[in-house]
Copies of this chain bind each other. A is one copy, B any other.
C-alpha cells in the first residue's frame, strides 16, 4: 500500500506493456512487474480480456506499448497483426492514453502505428537496449537477452544501441535476432542427429520436445508442474521432460534411461550455444570490432547467456551486468516492458 500511495502522490502510473505471441508482460516505471503465459495465436479474440486481467488491480494512467505478437500466424500480415493487438489494448483500456514504441527509437500514436506496421512490429528489443544504454553507459557493450523463444544480441556504443538491422528479417540476417530461446524452441530445429552410446540417431522432426525439457532436466531451469505450455501439454517436471526427450528418437522412458536423457539434453544445449556463438561473432565483427567493455545479460535464459559469455573469446575480459541481480528476477523477466516504462518518463 505504501508503494502505491507514494506512486500516486509523486507521479502518474505509467505502465509498459510487451505483447508477445506466447507471453503478456507488463511493468510499471516503479518496478511492479507481471508476466502471464498466453498463447495469443490460439485465441486472439481473448487478448483484451487477458490484458485487463493482467492489470486489473493496478492504477494505469498511461500505457506505452511494444509488441512481437503481430508475427503470430493467426494474422495474415503485419498490418493485420498490429491492428488487432492495438484494438485489443484499446478495448481493455478505453480511457488510457496509449503510445507505441517505434523501431526508430521513439514513441508514436495509435494512428501512426497502424499506418506503418513495419515500424512498430517487433520493437521491444530496442526499448530494452535503449534503456540499458542510458542506465549502464560505456564505450562498447553487448546486450544478450535470452527469452523463452528468441535471443537478442544488441551492440551498444557510448550508451547508444548501434544495431545494423531494425525489422525482423534484417535482424535475422545480421545475427542480432536469433530465433532460439530457453523454453519454446523445438529440439528438432536444433538437433538433426544425436549420439547415444556410440550410436548416431537421426531425430524425429516433430514438435515432441523443446529447450524447456532440456533445461529442466539439466537443472538449469526449475521444475514447474503447473506450467503446461509444453510440447505435449503435461507439466514442466523432470519426469515428463524425460518422456518428451525420449520421443525425439521414437523411444520412451522404459528404454531411454537417465544417461540417454542427460546426453540428449546436453547435446541440445551445446547446439544452442554453438548457434548463439556464431551470431555473437557476427554481431561483434560488424559493430564491436575492438574490446567489449560490458556484457549485459537478461531474460529467462540469463544462465545460458553467462555460459555463452564464457565461451566467446571476444567477450572474455568484459564486465558482466545481470539484470536479474540488479532489478530482481521478476522485473528481469519483463525487462522490455520495464525499460519501456522507464523510457516513457524521459522520451
Q: Does A141 sit at the interface, judged by CB under 8 A? A: no
Identify the closest chain B residue to A168 (Cβ): B250
Cβ of B172 and Cβ of A249 under 8 Å apart? yes
Cβ of A204 and Cβ of B172 under 8 Å apart? yes
With contacts A169-B250, A250-B167, A254-B77 taken as known, whether A207 is within 8 angstroms of B204 at the C-beta atoms is: no
Cβ of A179 and Cβ of B207 under 8 Å apart? no
Q: How distant is the Cα of A113 from the Cα of B205 in the complex, in angstroms?
A: 27
For A190, list chain B residues within 8 Å (CB): 205
Cβ of B207 and Cβ of A186 under 8 Å apart? yes
Q: Which of B122, B172, B188, B202 meets A186, CB within 8 Å? A: B188
What are the interface flags for A162-185 relative to B under an 8 Å C-beta threshold, 1 for contact and 0 otherwise?
Answer: 000001110111010111100001
Cβ of A202 and Cβ of B188 under 8 Å apart? no
A interface: dominant SS: loop
Copies of this protein, total: 2
With contacts A178-B202, A205-B185 taken as known, whether A73 is within 8 angstroms of B247 at the C-beta atoms is: yes
Q: How distant is the Cα of A175 from the Cα of B249 in the complex, in angstroms?
A: 12
Q: Does A107 sit at the interface, judged by CB under 8 A? A: no
With contacts A189-B188, A252-B76 taken as known, whether A205 is within 8 angstroms of B232 at the C-beta atoms is: no
Distance from A74 Cβ to chain B, minimum over Cβ atoms (Å): 7
Write 7 A-B pairs (CB below 8 A) sorted by A numbering.
Answer: A73-B244, A79-B254, A172-B202, A175-B202, A179-B205, A188-B188, A207-B207
